[in-house]
């Protein structure tokens, strides 16, 4: 459990440092990715630096993310973790930061004694008032 908690925190530390290889080292070679942005998702190359580097390039500085309400279930070589995470960032061309809260579920698998992220599901809900607006303004 403690090892998994450290991985979850450490990957956001690596992100805040803009360290793409350091961040990807926590992921398995194949990851089922369900991202905040389209497409729906599916299997991706967990070690391809291009998507993460491209995403980082849209910000004035690497985003800072925090993990709250973390719950970890682990047994044998399988684990999953749920949390409500915040992301604070300044988009390039903007001079003010935004903060967005989202849900995060991670699936981990232990391979050769080492836990790796094999699934990541980040999302916000959407308003069912007919507007179909993404609920990017919620707080825990």
Q: Which residues bind a second copy (CB under 8 A)?
A: 32, 34-42, 69, 71, 73-80, 82, 84, 101-103, 105, 107, 109-110, 118-119, 121, 123-128, 132-136, 138-140
* 65 versus 102: smaller Cβ distance to a second copy: 102
The rounded distance, in Å, linking the Cα atoms of 109 and 43 is 15
What are the Cα distances from residue 35, in Å, to 75, 91, 93, 110, 111?
26, 18, 24, 23, 24
* 36 versus 60: smaller Cβ distance to a second copy: 36
Min CB(125)–a second copy separation in Å: 5
Min CB(85)–a second copy separation in Å: 10
SS3 53: helix
Min CB(138)–a second copy separation in Å: 5
Residues contacting 39, CB < 8 A, separation 6+: none
Min CB(53)–a second copy separation in Å: 17
* 66 versus 109: smaller Cβ distance to a second copy: 109
The rounded distance, in Å, linking the Cα atoms of 35 and 17 is 21
* 42 versus 95: smaller Cβ distance to a second copy: 42
* 22 versus 109: smaller Cβ distance to a second copy: 109
Residues contacting 116, CB < 8 A, separation 6+: 26, 27, 28, 108, 109, 110
Min CB(91)–a second copy separation in Å: 10
* C-beta separation of 85 from 76 below 8 A: no
């Amino acid at each position: 459990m403690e090892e998994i908690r450290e991985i979850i925190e450490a990957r956001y530390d690596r992100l805040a440092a803009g360290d793409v290889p350091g961040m990807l080292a926590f992921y398995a070679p194949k990851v089922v990715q369900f991202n905040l942005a389209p497409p729906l998702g599916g299997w991706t190359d967990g070690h391809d630096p291009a998507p993460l580097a491209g995403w980082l390039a849209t910000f004035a500085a690497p985003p800072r993310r925090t993990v709250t309400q973390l719950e970890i279930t682990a047994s044998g070589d399988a684990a999953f973790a749920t949390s409500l995470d915040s992301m604070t960032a300044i988009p390039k061309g903007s001079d003010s930061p935004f903060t967005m809260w989202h849900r995060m579920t991670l699936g981990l698998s232990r391979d050769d004694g080492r836990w790796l992220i094999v699934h990541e599901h980040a999302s916000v809900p959407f308003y069912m008032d007919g507007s179909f607006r993404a609920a990017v303004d919620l707080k825990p």
